[in-house]
Amino acid sequence: MGGFMQSFWMYAYFVAAFATVFSIKWLSHPSTARRGVIAGEIGFTLAIIGTFLRVEVSPSHYVSILIAIAIGAMIGAPMAKLMPMTSVPQFTALSHAFGALAAALVGTAEYYLTDAPPHGFTIVALIVEVLLGFLTFTASLMAFGKLQGLVPSPPITYKGQNFVNLTFLACGVVLGIWPMIATAPIWVFPAFTVIALIFGVMFILPIGGGDMPTVIALLNSFAGASACAMGFTLGNHLLIIAGALNAASGFILSVIMCKAMNRSFANVLFGAFGQAKEKSGVKGEAKPVHSASAEDAAMMMLNSQKVIIVPGYGMAVAQAQHKVRELADQLIKRGIDVQFAIHPVAGRMPGHMNVLLAEADISYDRLHEMEDINPDFAETDVALVIGANDVVNPAARHDKTSPIYGMPILDVDKAKHVMVIKRSMNTGFAGIENELYHDDKTLMLFGDAKGMVADIVKEIGAQSPMSS
């Protein structure tokens, strides 16, 4: 029996590794997704208990470790419970920061475990672990700051920024390689960690709010890669598997986000989007816009058979999702077909709009991906754009001088009528003029998204005596 207890961790890790794999597999569809969470929880419980019972863990340290576990759980649980759904992007960035910090600290602890720092293959993995861990820690905190509005969201750029960043990176590489090939002086490792921390901040500075979906996914990937590198330093296969799954997941999500903007990684990370501002939109189109009232909008929607709603970050900012649900309910009740079109980069993180609309109790059958719904716009009476801008700009299709040229967009302009709820004529994140607003079939509804949708709902209620 004692033998079993001693080798319990092996069985626990074995099950935990498979539980982790299945947890991601089951997450692929809403009907099995919650089972995925349970699988993950079982896996992690086993991993923690298994580790605890390993002979390497001395019983004299049980109490301190249990306290550390309890503190973490006691902070994490209320955080997850109390967080408003509109803060999901910031919250995700913040938890990346903690995960990455954990990996980096373990790496640092391993380095100082004995008088002789590790060597050979172990130190290579350890340096990677610490670099990614600390870099992701500060980068995620910065991303959190930008999303929460603590740090200005537009790209922060200065002359020679890429040069400064590359110099820092070069210093980091030199300090990182040093302990791999020779016994480094004691200041080298601390200096290396400091550079990794600073680099994380500088990495996020030039990145604008609209690029956050790509960057958050990338940080997710880094956190996983760091845990994976830890697996190599400790010779722990569970860490390697879980870390690799996570790294792959974050990586593929950021690739999907890049594709949805028709941009390369390099362009997102070093291209500071806003710089193209001056060139485009100089055409000085003095074409008028057609402004309309909530009443006009209500009438038009009531006379239609099919309405597609296109939500964007503006809907999230105004927290208009519940009013949008009321609008959809009113229209559906009157026999009008209402669907939602969701662009992959709408919002501040992958899938951001879906979560908000789900929170407002909108059935996920009505939420459609770009490729699936684009053919439907041609037979749509009204396309209602709420707080989205660049993702519906037809210039992406035909204007080669536009910075967003080539980006796949929602074909809102193919609908018979377009309505855009917008605060003012200010340009969007990319600072690009949107010709959709000047189209003859477009009605501009100026106002706050939440207030405007509420007004439309009221008008619909008043205008339609016909019973459902």
Partner 1 sequence: MTHNIEIAFLSVYIFLLAVILGLELVRRVSPLLHTPLMSLTNAISAISVVGGILIAGEKDVRTLPQILGLVAVTAAMLNIVAGFMITDRMLKMFRRDTSKGGKR
Residue ranges in 73-112 that form contacts with partner 1 under rule CB under 8 A:
73, 75-77, 79-81, 83, 85, 88, 91-92, 95-96, 98-103, 105-106, 108-110, 112
User: In whole angstroms, how close is the CB of 455 to partner 1 at the nearest point?
Assistant: 25
Task: Choose between 118 and 274: whose C-beta lies nearer to partner 1.
Answer: 118
Among the listed residues 18, 25, 185, 462, the single contact to partner 1 using CB under 8 A: 25
Among the listed residues 5, 6, 18, 57, the single contact to partner 1 using CB under 8 A: 57
Q: Tell me the window of 154-162, 242-250, 264-272, 452-460 that interacts with partner 1 (CB under 8 A).
A: 242-250
Active-site residue 390, yes or no?
A: yes
Contact between 180 and partner 1 per CB under 8 A: no
Contact between 251 and partner 1 per CB under 8 A: yes
Among the listed residues 7, 86, 165, 236, the single contact to partner 1 using CB under 8 A: 236
User: In whole angstroms, how close is the CB of 381 to partner 1 at the nearest point?
Assistant: 15
Q: Which residue has the tokens 């917008």?
A: 422
Q: Tell me the window of 195-203, 224-232, 399-407, 413-421 that interacts with partner 1 (CB under 8 A).
A: 224-232
Helix then strand then coil, in percent of the chain rounded to 5, is 65, 5, 30
Site for partner 1 in 255-274 (CB under 8 A): 256
d(CA 378, CA 306): 11
Cα 336 to the center of its chain, rounded Å: 33
d(CA 426, CA 120): 57
Contact between 44 and partner 1 per CB under 8 A: yes
d(CA 45, CA 48): 5
User: In whole angstroms, how close is the CB of 214 to partner 1 at the nearest point?
Assistant: 12
Site for partner 1 in 105-144 (CB under 8 A): 105-106, 108-110, 112-113, 121
Contact between 201 and partner 1 per CB under 8 A: no
Q: Could you give the 3-state DSSP secondary structure of residue 423?
A: coil
User: In whole angstroms, how close is the CB of 8 to partner 1 at the nearest point?
Assistant: 14
Cα dist from 50 to 47, 208, 363, 392, 432, whole Å: 5, 43, 41, 51, 55
Among the listed residues 153, 193, 214, 226, the single contact to partner 1 using CB under 8 A: 226
Cα dist from 37 to 23, 24, 43, 394, whole Å: 6, 8, 10, 40
Q: Which residue has the tokens 């172990």?
A: 122
User: In whole angstroms, how close is the CB of 399 to partner 1 at the nearest point?
Assistant: 27
Among the listed residues 123, 142, 238, 385, the single contact to partner 1 using CB under 8 A: 238
Cα dist from 372 to 225, 257, 363, 407, 442, whole Å: 33, 17, 17, 17, 23
Q: Could you give the 3-state DSSP secondary structure of residue 433?
A: coil
Q: Which residue has the tokens 């569970």?
A: 238
Task: Choose between 154 and 351: whose C-beta lies nearer to partner 1.
Answer: 351
Total interface residues for partner 1 by CB under 8 A: 115
Candidate list 376, 390, 413, 439, residue with the active-site label: 390
Site for partner 1 in 5-24 (CB under 8 A): 20-21, 23-24
Q: Are 415 and 381 in contact (CB under 8 A)?
A: yes
Cα 290 to the center of its chain, rounded Å: 35
* Six token digits for residue 307: 């309405």
User: In whole angstroms, how close is the CB of 248 to partner 1 at the nearest point?
Assistant: 3
Site for partner 1 in 360-399 (CB under 8 A): 361-369
Q: Tell me the window of 201-209, 241-249, 272-280, 391-399 that interacts with partner 1 (CB under 8 A).
A: 241-249
Q: Are 311 and 338 in contact (CB under 8 A)?
A: no
Among the listed residues 179, 209, 231, 311, the single contact to partner 1 using CB under 8 A: 231
Task: Choose between 253 and 453: whose C-beta lies nearer to partner 1.
Answer: 253
Q: Could you give the 3-state DSSP secondary structure of residue 380?
A: coil
Among the listed residues 15, 151, 191, 248, the single contact to partner 1 using CB under 8 A: 248
CB environment 125-155: b (16+ within 10 A), e (fewer): bbbbbbbbbbbbbbbbbbbbbbbeeebebbb
Among the listed residues 3, 29, 116, 288, the single contact to partner 1 using CB under 8 A: 29
Site for partner 1 in 333-352 (CB under 8 A): 337, 339, 342, 344, 349-352
Neighbours of 305 (CB within 10 A): 11
Residue type, 36: G
d(CA 452, CA 450): 6
Task: Choose between 354 and 442: whose C-beta lies nearer to partner 1.
Answer: 354
d(CA 354, CA 368): 9
User: In whole angstroms, how close is the CB of 6 to partner 1 at the nearest point?
Assistant: 15
d(CA 121, CA 445): 62
User: In whole angstroms, how close is the CB of 169 to partner 1 at the nearest point?
Assistant: 23
User: In whole angstroms, how close is the CB of 133 to partner 1 at the nearest point?
Assistant: 8
Q: Tell me the window of 52-60, 177-185, 384-392, 425-433 that interacts with partner 1 (CB under 8 A).
A: 52-60
Q: Are 204 and 268 in contact (CB under 8 A)?
A: no
Q: Are 309 and 330 in contact (CB under 8 A)?
A: no
Contact between 148 and partner 1 per CB under 8 A: no
Residues tagged active-site: 390
